[in-house]
Amino acid sequence: MTARRWDIAFGLALAVLFAWAALESRRWSELARTFPMAVAVFGLVLALLALVLPARKADAPEPDELSDDVRRRRTAAAVGWIAAFFLAVWALGFLVAIPLATVAYLRACGERWPVTAAIAAASWAFVYGLFDRVLHVPLPPGELLRAAGLG
């Protein structure tokens, strides 16, 4: 799909969202629905206008040494790593997941063990020292550890 088609698809998705939001608001009391309905109707009109009104001329993109294919692959990998960090935090909690995921990421990127270990240890010290000990933020133990009776 070309960039223009993605743009149109996004604009239409926004328009559908606004239309749904306006319909959904009909069943609320007047006080509760006035603002969201007004915003949704304006939003619907604006999303459709955005598809037809002219845009200012965009500047040429900055020169980039990466091909579209490489960029797409690396973006997918980046999103995958961020999702993996989140899953690790959910399953193991911040205190275990952050150093573990840090080691996994840095080794996958080809970093040497001393550097990897130092950054993982510093990350753990930062999370534990500042958030747990100083600020007393109640960090979750992680669902897996909780299920195993370790949390």
Partner 1 sequence: MLEALVAGLGQVLSWPAIGLMFVGIGAGFVVGIMPGVGGATALALMLPFIFKMQPAEAFAFLLGMASVLAMTGEITSILFGVPGEPVTAAAILDGHTMAKKGEAGRALGAALFGAFIGAVIGALSLMITIPVVQPLLRSFGSPEFLMFAVLGIAFVSSLTGISPAKGFAVAALGLLLSCVGQAPGTATLRYVFGQLYLWEGIRIVPATLGLFAIPELVDLVVHRSAIARRDVGDLGGVRQGFADVLRHRWLAVRAAVIGVVVGVAPGIGGAGAQWIAYGHAVQSSSTPERFGKGAVEGVIAPAIASAGERTSALIPTVAFGIPGNVSTAVLLGAFIIQGLVPGKDMLEKDLAITFAMAWTMIIANVIAIAICVLLVRQLAAITRVRGTLLVPPLIALVFLGAYAERNTLFDVGIALAFGALGLALNALGWPRAPLILGLVLGGVIENYLSLSVSRYDYEWLLRPGVAFMLAAAVLVALSPYLQPWVRRLRSGRAA
> Applying CB under 8 A, which residues contact partner 1?
3, 6-7, 10-11, 14, 17-18, 21, 24-25, 28-29, 31-32, 34-36, 39-40, 42-43, 46-47, 49-50, 53-59, 66, 71, 74-75, 77-79, 81-83, 85-86, 89-90, 94, 98, 101-102, 105-106, 109, 111, 115, 119-120, 122-123, 126-127, 130-131, 135, 137-138, 140
Q: Which CB sits closer to partner 1, 70 or 148?
A: 70
Q: For 65-92, give one letter per residue: b (16+ CB within 10 A) or e.
A: eeeeeeeeeeeeeeeeeeeebeebbeeb
Q: Which CB sits closer to partner 1, 76 or 150?
A: 76
Amino acid at 101: A
Q: 106, 121 in Cβ contact below 8 A?
A: no
Q: Which CB sits closer to partner 1, 56 or 149?
A: 56
Q: Which CB sits closer to partner 1, 131 or 144?
A: 131
Smallest gap from residue 59 Cβ to partner 1 (A) = 6
Smallest gap from residue 78 Cβ to partner 1 (A) = 4
Instruction: With CA atoms as reference, report the closest residue to 41 among 13, 12, 11, 21.
Output: 21
Smallest gap from residue 145 Cβ to partner 1 (A) = 14
Q: Which CB sits closer to partner 1, 61 or 149?
A: 61
Packing angle, helices 68-92 and 94-108, rounded to 10:
150
Long-range contacts for 4-13 (Cβ within 8 Å, ≥24 apart)?
7/51, 8/51, 11/47, 11/48, 11/50, 11/51, 12/47, 12/51
Smallest gap from residue 5 Cβ to partner 1 (A) = 11
